[in-house]
Amino acid sequence: MKETNSSLLTKDILELDRQLQLANLPYPFHQMAYEIFRDFGLQKAIQYVTDRTLEVRSTFQSDKLREKAVPYKIIGEYLTDRHALLQMNNAARLPIAERAALMADAYLGYGSPIGAVIATKHSYIPYAVGSDIGCGISISLYDIKNEHFNKNYQLFVDSIIKNTFWGNRNKQDGKNHHAILDGFNWNINPFIKGLRDIAIEQLGTSGGGNHFVNMGFVDIFDDNHFISHGHYFAIMCHVGSRRIGSDITDRYASIAIKQHPYLDVTIRNLSWLNNDSSEGIEYYNGMNLALDYAKANHEVIHNRIQKFIGEKPLFYNFVTHKFLRKEKIDGSDYYIHRKGAFESRKSSFGIVTSNMSDTSYLVSGKGDEDALNSSSHGCGRVMSKVVAFEKLSHGELESIMNHRQVNLLGGCIDEAPQVFKPIDAIIASHADSFSVFGKFKPKIVRMENMSERSLYK
């Protein structure tokens, strides 16, 4: 007996259902297969399922984590909690990870720990750099004696209060300008071009969190390639690229995550872009623009303050600890992703910052290639922000700062000295990474306060 059109159609649908079940494709592919079946018939639909199955299997294999992590150096492992160590081990299992390292100040981060360094050959990982692209520390040194500082103390306090801007929605006062705003790099694509207005508003602003503008004195006590032995007044600044960096990171990390749907969910935030793809090229160019913007931010802040106090610096340097760059390690080229670590090649300048009340260190790199020529950028958290608010009080913070004779302008208890690792332990752990040639002791510290923190982006 001849089959009716209706029974043939039912039979074909059942066959397509069977093929889809065997292929185990995600649901969106099912929809497309049925649409192709409706318009072109069973054979075309089955061919679509076959083609997509091969693609999915290929993608799954390329997204599959390594059985074991690539070998990587852990500096000061005893200082790092198990959650950050586990997160780092997962990051080192990425199929694109070639080498890695973990710094002594490491703590749990978004995707990978703060203090993680990851090397790839052909890929960019937006969240392995982090949101605040170009975040770093800058320092300017001046020939100002303690007597002059003490005699004109209010001038120095006013110079910070009147020339720094805090809170995530705060804008500059319209007096800040820099050549970074005039370049053609904003024309990378319409999205990047649309960030320029935000760049104008936020140029020379500090945001919040652990960002700061400090004043104090530096003692240079050992030979180095940067500045002579002596006692100097110093301005030290910690800030990044503000919303420019975070918006670029969020956009391209989102694109990367969509390109790797089968990457293990525990590590999906470390999805990557191929360096020769259009999206990868856009991210890399945008990342470098954000890095230049962060540098400009530092320069504007220093320039405003030094103009206010009527002094010119003897020395200035900027050290970023969130960036990506092609570098040669052990004779091979890698894309080095640093997230809370600065480059410490032989004889390179570095700064390891402490908490808001203690000594920070000026260092010269030794070039430890096992650590991917990288070093800790600070002292790292041992207490989360939530726990800090539960356990600490403003009275305790004020007592510590008064005892250490540091004038805190602003500041929140989740950035109190107690929430950080001991800086001396960090320094000792990095004996192979750098040598110390100077110390910075803060006298005035300006950070975001609670009322400014309420101005979220």
- Give the mean model confidence (pLDDT) for residues 81-104: 96
Amino acid 452: pLDDT = 66
Residues whose CB falls within 8 Å of the CB of residue 216, separated by 6 or more in sequence, listed in order: 233, 234, 236, 440, 441, 442, 443, 444
Whether residue 394 sits in one domain with residue 271: yes
Q: Which of 223-227, 344-348, 364-368 has the lowest mean pLDDT?
A: 223-227
Q: Record the pTM.
A: 0.87
Using 50, 70 and 90 to split pLDDT, how confident is the model at 1? very low
**Which of the listed residues 63, 87, 105 is the one where a domain comes to its end?**
63
Mean pLDDT score of the chain: 92
Using 50, 70 and 90 to split pLDDT, how confident is the model at 56? low
Concatenating the DSSP letter of every residue in 49-81 gives: HHHHHHHHHHHHHHHPPPSSPPPEEESSGGGS-
- For residue range 107-119, list pLDDT tens digits in order: 999 999 999 999 9
Answer yes or no: is 437 within a domain.
Answer: yes
Taking the C-alpha atoms of residue 297 and residue 315, their distance in angstroms, rounded to an integer, is 17
Whether residue 57 sits in one domain with residue 180: no
Of 325, 136, 313, residue with least CA distance to 237: 136
- Higher-confidence position of 309 and 176: 309
Using 50, 70 and 90 to split pLDDT, how confident is the model at 64? confident
Q: Is 237 helix (H, G, I), strand (E, B) or coil?
A: strand
Answer yes or no: is 351 within a domain.
Answer: yes
Compute φ and ψ for 19, nearest 5 degrees. Answer: -65, -40
Whether residue 131 sits in one domain with residue 44: no
Select, from the ranges 19-23, 315-319, 379-383, the one with the highest average predicted confidence (pLDDT): 315-319
Whether residue 367 sits in one domain with residue 277: yes
**Which of the listed residues 63, 80, 102 is the one where a domain comes to its end?**
63
Whether residue 409 sits in one domain with residue 271: yes
Give the E-state strand segments of 92-209 in sequence order: 97-107, 114-120, 123-124, 136-142
Task: Read off the CATH number of the domain in which 436 is found.
Answer: 3.90.1860.10
Residues whose CB falls within 8 Å of the CB of residue 269, separated by 6 or more in sequence, listed in order: 110, 111, 127, 253, 257
Asked if residue 139 lies in contact with residue 236, where contact means CB atoms within 8 angstroms, the answer is yes
- Exposed, middle or buried by CB within 10 Å (0-12, 13-18, 19+), for 27? exposed
Amino acid 117: pLDDT = 98
- For residue range 253-281, list pLDDT tens digits in order: 999 999 998 888 889 999 999 999 999 99
Which residues are registered as beta bridge partners of 335?
Answer: 120, 326
Answer yes or no: is 74 within a domain.
Answer: no
Taking the C-alpha atoms of residue 286 and residue 402, their distance in angstroms, rounded to an integer, is 43
Taking the C-alpha atoms of residue 12 and residue 35, their distance in angstroms, rounded to an integer, is 13
Of 278, 294, 292, 284, residue with least CA distance to 242: 294
Structural domain of 185: 127-453
Answer yes or no: is 336 within a domain.
Answer: yes
Please report, rounded to a whole number, the percentage of residues in the chain having pLDDT higher than 90.
76
Taking the C-alpha atoms of residue 130 and residue 338, their distance in angstroms, rounded to an integer, is 9
Whether residue 137 sits in one domain with residue 17: no
Please report, rounded to a whole number, the percentage of residues in the chain having pLDDT higher than 70.
95
Residue 450 has pLDDT above 90, yes or no: no
Asked if residue 397 lies in contact with residue 380, where contact means CB atoms within 8 angstroms, the answer is no
Answer yes or no: is 328 within a domain.
Answer: yes
> What is the number of structural domains in the chain?
2
Residue 16 has pLDDT above 90, yes or no: no
- For residue range 314-360, list pLDDT tens digits in order: 999 999 999 999 999 999 999 999 999 999 999 999 999 999 999 99
Answer yes or no: is 449 within a domain.
Answer: yes
Amino acid 88: pLDDT = 97
Compute φ and ψ for 400, nearest 5 degrees. Answer: -65, -45
